[in-house]
Structure 1
């Protein structure tokens, strides 16, 4: 099923953008952070809140940010903290920022810089907070390395507990932290998807010869992960049986750029692509190892596509479910268009 957007449009972003993230720690409001990456203008971070009536998106805070924002992640246990990976000319890096207590759309208060992730020999690609709850460690990933940091926000310092050079033929493009195991993190690149044990910094498993753009663990089922793989589409994997995916979804007409499991209804999977489309999928998330059939081939669902949101003029790089209200998601296209949609009509019936 295809159709234009019937969602709520936010009109505050003036520049190009790729990054949007749910503010999981705000349990009272549906909130998102979005960051811009203009080459010539001073970039901005917008704190966007859905009004109590769910009729409009409100700018709760507007903050200037040095450099283009290439990755954005909200702290899962403190709604005033977020990390940003940035680039400015030949300079790049990553910082944890703190939103000031007194903020509002009428002014542009300064973000407070808490910590920076220094010492990376290569370009930083992402900063990961453990999604499973409060945790005093953060991961930063560059093109060849994984750094595990101990954070002490009161003293505003970071300490690299451990770091490891990752043995890959191609540069790492991103990573994802297992919400079920704080000692397990996965990285992906042009040719493989690899899992690492943070205690030993050793590789535990891998899926080779796949070009992964994005990945997302199933938040409700261990060992299950979805990958977005350029023209191929979306694969669901059981990491206990990594030789072949147990679900194949066709993805997008062009590159499939991002994929996200719904935080509560894990059969619902969201994806976005460079075909200016957001797709909502309904897929069985029970793998072969969880069933009695033992089928050893991929399962291609006949009608997995529930709805396509096509009211975009540019590539859609950013998608994020709301943790507070799992029937809502936000999307961000390259031209700075933020839309919040409801999938209430498509939720699986109990």
Structure 2
């Protein structure tokens, strides 16, 4: 089919980068933030604004005292970020920090010649003198009213509550206490402030932090992948559905209520999968990225809320359930393998999307560590590779029509 994915918009810097986030508190403009590692150059945080109508990229650059290993945008304030330092730069700093970007414009950005400003420290998270391993990831709960975030280290996950004047450590999930391997990633249940999922080794677990005196494990998939699980995300509309990406190059989708086998097994990557992200509005779309330099946009209709609604509508009028080939029940593992290129997902003959690869993007030359959806426009997404190349793309028009019509 004709490739209608539109133009790739590239923002490139001569810096090494690992982390990218959409500015969650801004629903009016497509804005993303990225942090540089500062290995041999000054450390920076870049705020990038994308105008879809003009196809224009504008940015502000902020000086930061040390390299940025991970970051997350605070949903409760579009000018605040949670930042995990890489260890380079200022000594005595907390392992993670809440920082503010001063003078963030609400509309048009200033000229490219605008002078760089430093980030402003709001609060430190954790003890700089701690002998525990430093965090390597940070995730915010997507609901702004929750005002919670979690820092992830190899030995545990610590939850921080920002509802008070200063951040307070409220819960901890310790690897040693639960006989876990090194913890790689975590994700919040989007509808429950006290529930999250973690990945350690090949295992995926879910937790209920309402249990006292310690968090309670509620589900475990012991062998979610044949290699380390590096990324996971909840379906925002069906929070019992989880997507995972692993060192085996596969992306799998699970039902946490019945996790004996994956609902979908997607094999469109050839190396480690660093990032998986459901579209926050249209959960039929799943974004994945990995060490093979590829960014894949997948259609996962069979495990989306659209499929649930369609099934309820069919049941109400007495129709027979659709067959898997027409977007009905989930495909068994292995049915969604690679087709080797930029082909679009199939439809069911009457213009509705079914499971499959929508488009495969090869705009990067090195490992892609993050792919994120815009908080303002559900059809816009960005990806970031280690060489400092951020690419913004849009969902192909043909796929949008399948979802909306």
- Structure-1-length-normalised TM-score: 0.90
Alignment of 1:208 onto 2:217: no
TM-fit CA distance, 1:141: 2.3
Partners of 2:154 and 2:51 lie apart in 1 by: 40
In our comparison, the structure showing a higher alpha carbon Rg is 2
8 Å CA contact 2:267–2:334 kept in 1: the answer is: no
8 Å CA contact 2:240–2:256 kept in 1: the answer is: yes
Point out where structure 1 has 5 or more consecutive residues left out of the alignment: none
Higher mean C-alpha displacement, 188-197 vs 47-56: 47-56
Alignment of 1:305 onto 2:357: yes
- The residue aligned with 1:109 is 117
Point out where structure 2 has 5 or more consecutive residues left out of the alignment: 312-320, 322-327, 338-344, 346-355
TM-fit CA distance, 1:49: 0.4
Partners of 1:122 and 1:142 lie apart in 2 by: 6
- The residue aligned with 1:140 is 151
- The residue aligned with 1:45 is 45
C-alpha spacing 1:231/1:2, structure 2 compared with 1 (3 Å): farther
8 Å CA contact 2:266–2:334 kept in 1: the answer is: no
C-alpha spacing 1:254/1:124, structure 2 compared with 1 (3 Å): same
Choose the corresponding residue for 2:200, options 189, 197, 211: 189
TM-fit CA distance, 1:148: 2.2
Alignment of 1:242 onto 2:259: yes
- The residue aligned with 2:324 is none
Higher mean C-alpha displacement, 295-304 vs 329-338: 295-304
TM-fit CA distance, 1:216: 0.9
Higher mean C-alpha displacement, 187-196 vs 102-111: 102-111
User: Higher strand fraction: Structure 1 or Structure 2?
Assistant: 1
* Residue aligned with 1:179, SS: coil
Counterparts of 1:212-291 in structure 2, within 5 Å, are 212-286=229-303
User: Higher helix fraction: Structure 1 or Structure 2?
Assistant: 2
8 Å CA contact 1:2–1:310 kept in 2: the answer is: no
Partners of 1:137 and 1:24 lie apart in 2 by: 14
TM-fit CA distance, 1:151: 2.2
Partners of 1:301 and 1:316 lie apart in 2 by: 22
Counterparts of 1:17-166 in structure 2, within 5 Å, are 17-51=17-51, 53-59=53-59, 61-89=60-88, 93-101=95-103, 105=112, 106-119=114-127, 121-151=132-162, 155=165, 157-166=166-175
TM-fit CA distance, 1:203: 1.0
8 Å CA contact 2:303–2:330 kept in 1: the answer is: no
TM-fit CA distance, 1:228: 0.5
Partners of 2:277 and 2:378 lie apart in 1 by: 12
- Structure-2-length-normalised TM-score: 0.78
- 1:75-95 CA-to-partner distances (Å, cap 9, x unmatched) read 112101111111225977111
Higher mean C-alpha displacement, 159-168 vs 13-22: 159-168
